[in-house]
Structure 1
Amino acid sequence: MSNIFLVGTHWGDEGKGKIVDVLSDSASACIRFQGGHNAGHTLVIKGVKTILHLVPSGILRDSCKSIISNGVVVSLDALTKEIEELEKSGIKIKDKLFVSLNCHVILPTHKLLDLAREESLGNKSIGTTGRGIGPAYEDKVSRKGIRILDFESNKLSDKIDELVTYHNFILKEYFNYKTIDKNEMLDSLRTDYEKIKPYVADTSLLVNKLAKTSKCIYEGAQGTMLDIDHGTYPYVTSSNTTLAGLLSGTGINVDKVEYSLGITKAYTTRVGHGPFPSELDNDLGKKIASWGGEKGATTGRDRRCGWLDCKILKQSIELNRINGIALTKLDVLDNLEKIKICIDYGEINYETMSVSDIKYLELDGWMQSTVGINDFNKLPENAKKYIEKIESLCSTEVVMISTGPDRRQIIVKKNII
């Protein structure tokens, strides 16, 4: 396959970063198409952990271009820091990283608006990361946003003055919150822009050219159930995380997407507020969280844990035209005598965050280590049965299985690139 789309099937944190890293060894380009620095992709290579927030995971491969396309909202400060950290680690950036000139820019006032709004909502808050992603997308949709290309315009100062005056008014008069000096902010933004300027390009042309001639991987942030249209609204992100978001966020057409890979944890997690039908709000859920190291890569917040939700998985398969599944963190379930799969439930009640008539399928656990296994046939029989049951329930094959955090701890059942 030449063009592979990777998508999280639930609420993010499914392990997309590792799967992108594994596949990018055979790819010419890795393209990020939506979101901002609110998501973190964690990679472990020879015991060394790297967390990426904006730069695509393919940056760790010498022969892979990394492209931040037009659907992403960019914090110039966060991007410059990430580039500097990668360079300090000996990762080559020059001639490998490309940033769309059409990306909208997250301003410091966007972050303040995000924080002020969340604080004002109290226990009714959405649970955002407070990075300014939502307010930046709001300005994009209302046609007031600042794009990277605007930094080459002699009207930049006027545009920022108008937008920040509006932001500061809302912050002060509505939220009774602190404001930001426009001139100081503009100077800081220009300094950061000069640092990323060498990487700015018309990525739509570049991506379409690569899609015709090379092997490309397209990675988003978050997961399907955080999609602004198809997720558990209003407990969602501010962009389209699904296949539709890939198309608008890069400028390629759907015919170029040859394979869709759904990234699915062997159990389900969620960060922040919102419905979670299969949640284990008990000691077992806490144990799974501990075994899986379930803390957000960006915020450090604890992730809520529950049984694999196959109803959502099947919905994600339909929404994203998923051809195969990469099942991650199988090893986290090694110590369980019994494992359940959530197969159905009634409508979600968004007032009580509950569901009715929830149904589970119970299977025997395998009670032995799967860590580092690279051959499907060497898995315990009950682990194989668990994987085969997922395939049967979803009518979709599992093509990759992660058996640990390191890039080498993986089973490739089918080579898709």
Structure 2
Amino acid sequence: MRAKTAVVLGAQWGDEGKGKIVDVLSDGFSAVARYAGGHNAGHTVIISGQKFVLQLIPCGVLRPNCMGIIGNGVVLDPIAFLKEVARIRELGVDVDGQLRVSNRAQVILPYHRMIELAAESAPGRQKIGTTSRGIGPAYEDKMARSGLRVVDLLNPALLKTHIEAACAEKNAIVHALYGTEPLDPQKMFDEYAAAAEQVRPFVVDGARMLNGIIKDGGSVMFEGAQGTMLDIDHGTYPFVTSSSATAGGAATGTGVGPTNIGTVISVTKAYVTRVGEGPFPTEIHDPIGDHLRARGNEYGAVTGRPRRCGWLDIPLLRYSNTINGAEWLVVTKMDVLDELDEIPICIGYEIDGKVTDEIPADVHGLEAIKPVYTKLKGWQSSTEGITDFERLPRAAQDYLRFQEKESGAKIGMVSTGPDRDQTMILPEFAEILKELHR
């Protein structure tokens, strides 16, 4: 019998609408666990017109009786965390009763932000398009075994020693390389020692808690951040994030073994977007891209940065579904395509005169891609708010069935608007959800 668990992740470069989908699906789950990334990722959830923007906190806390757990694979900025907690608390959410943080999560400190900002702004350096929130340098310290974990944050003596040693090293390096002014270790210690006491009530052994929920028959959803093509191993390297955004990260980022992962649900828009630098084979460079950006409100939930827009990329989606072992596909923002008379879909790549559907591993190969398109008929009528598949225009149904047939995963849900209620759940997937919620 499968464990009552599911991974929900992004199929492309993030911003696929995972926040809304996790919120919709979390009804009936015992816990939602975030397994990667930091406060560089944002999820927007709209419930009866009220907007919630979450950065670190798992979407499950917006459901009564659902625990939100920040896993060990996340990097946690204590100050940003406490600000978000205060904001969500003010909106009436029982964040104190429903939110927990793994004691093994790594901590972001001010020198991580200093290093990332200085490096990203340095003349002659290849820009990745980071958010300069210290995510990458915190993961670098983690892998160098010189990082600070939440359990260490709670030990004032250890925290003081760590900050003093780290500042002596980081200040010297950043000043020498970039001319940046040094950070004050005493001021940093005072601020973070005080923050630690406010974080303390949330701290638990995350792996123990999650495995206990599963053992007791509860259900757990693993909430991904960013998207598959930003994964440190499998994405468009080096234009990627610093953590494992794919389904494999759910096991390493929470301490729940892979045999306890029940199913994988991949979220894709009806088109594709990307924020920041990096290759994007199907990017639209004409006014239609601006049209999609305006209709889809394609601006970052955290940064406000405009997103680059492109057509659906079937080879990329197929690759993503393979890497993640995705069984189910959730399609979001169908309504954004409502006004188009025809819709191109990339079905293959031409690279150096040869047609292939293989994703090149290197940036040069990705940049050399000439997409091979087929065009499907648009429906030019509103799909907003439709929750019954049969009520969709025939051309919209055909678009979804083509996507399902070519991608290798079954469509389980379709989002036809930003609100929680503007969602259709197909019958076969509804049965799967019943099994997960029992």
**Is TM more than 0.5 here?**
yes
Encode CA deviations 1:256-295: one digit per residue, 9 max, x unaligned: 1111000000000000000000000221111111110000
Match of 2:381 among 357, 362, 368: 368
CA distance in 2, matches of 1:190, 1:99: 17
Question: How many residue pairs align between the two structures?
Answer: 417
CA distance in 2, matches of 1:114, 1:349: 24
CA distance in 2, matches of 1:217, 1:291: 30
What is aligned with 1:146? 148
Q: Does 2:368 align with 1:355?
A: yes
Match of 2:247 among 243, 248, 251: 243
The letter of the residue matching 2:276 is G
What is the deviation of 1:4?
0.6
The answer to whether the 8 Å contact 1:348/1:355 transfers is no
Match of 2:19 among 5, 17, 20: 17
What is aligned with 1:168? 171
What is aligned with 1:282? 286
What is aligned with 1:232? 236
Encode CA deviations 1:325-366: one digit per residue, 9 max, x unaligned: 000000000000000111111347735962334211110000
What is aligned with 1:400? 413
The answer to whether the 8 Å contact 1:325/1:397 transfers is yes
The letter of the residue matching 1:384 is Q
What is aligned with 1:198? 201
What is aligned with 1:94? 96
The answer to whether the 8 Å contact 2:154/2:196 transfers is no
Q: Does 2:309 align with 1:305?
A: yes
Q: Does 2:347 align with 1:343?
A: yes
**Counterparts in 2 of 1:65 and 1:349: CA distance versus 1, 3 Å:** closer
**Counterparts in 2 of 1:47 and 1:395: CA distance versus 1, 3 Å:** same
1:112-123 alignment, distance < 5 Å: 112-121=114-123
The answer to whether the 8 Å contact 2:61/2:67 transfers is yes
What is the deviation of 1:132?
0.3
CA distance in 1, matches of 2:285, 2:370: 18
What is aligned with 2:354? none
What is the deviation of 1:122?
5.5
TM-score (norm 1): 0.98
What is aligned with 2:35? 33
**Counterparts in 2 of 1:337 and 1:248: CA distance versus 1, 3 Å:** same
What is the deviation of 1:179?
2.2
Secondary structure at 2:33's aligned position in 1?
A: strand
Encode CA deviations 1:3-58: one digit per residue, 9 max, x unaligned: 01011010000010000000111111000001000010000111111110000001
Unaligned residue ranges in structure 2 (runs of 5+): 352-359, 434-438
CA distance in 2, matches of 1:297, 1:68: 19
Task: Indicate the larger mover: 156-165 or 261-270.
Answer: 156-165
What is the deviation of 1:211?
2.2
Encode CA deviations 1:302-321: one digit per residue, 9 max, x unaligned: 10000011111101111111
Match of 2:258 among 247, 254, 261: 254
| Percent of residue pairs bearing the same amino acid type | 44
What is the deviation of 1:124?
2.6
Q: Does 2:79 align with 1:77?
A: yes
**Counterparts in 2 of 1:121 and 1:348: CA distance versus 1, 3 Å:** farther
What is the deviation of 1:164?
1.7
CA distance in 2, matches of 1:305, 1:292: 10
The answer to whether the 8 Å contact 1:11/1:223 transfers is yes
CA distance in 1, matches of 2:173, 2:370: 44
**Counterparts in 2 of 1:182 and 1:58: CA distance versus 1, 3 Å:** same
Encode CA deviations 1:196-243: one digit per residue, 9 max, x unaligned: 110000011001111232111101110000000100000000011112
The answer to whether the 8 Å contact 2:236/2:362 transfers is no
The letter of the residue matching 1:177 is T
What is the deviation of 1:178?
2.3
What is the deviation of 1:395?
2.8
What is aligned with 2:300? 296
CA distance in 1, matches of 2:394, 2:202: 49
CA distance in 2, matches of 1:178, 1:335: 52
RMSD: 1.3
Secondary structure at 1:94's aligned position in 2?
A: helix
What is aligned with 1:3? 5
The answer to whether the 8 Å contact 1:146/1:160 transfers is no
Secondary structure at 2:225's aligned position in 1?
A: coil
**Counterparts in 2 of 1:231 and 1:349: CA distance versus 1, 3 Å:** closer
CA distance in 2, matches of 1:170, 1:123: 16
CA distance in 2, matches of 1:304, 1:400: 24
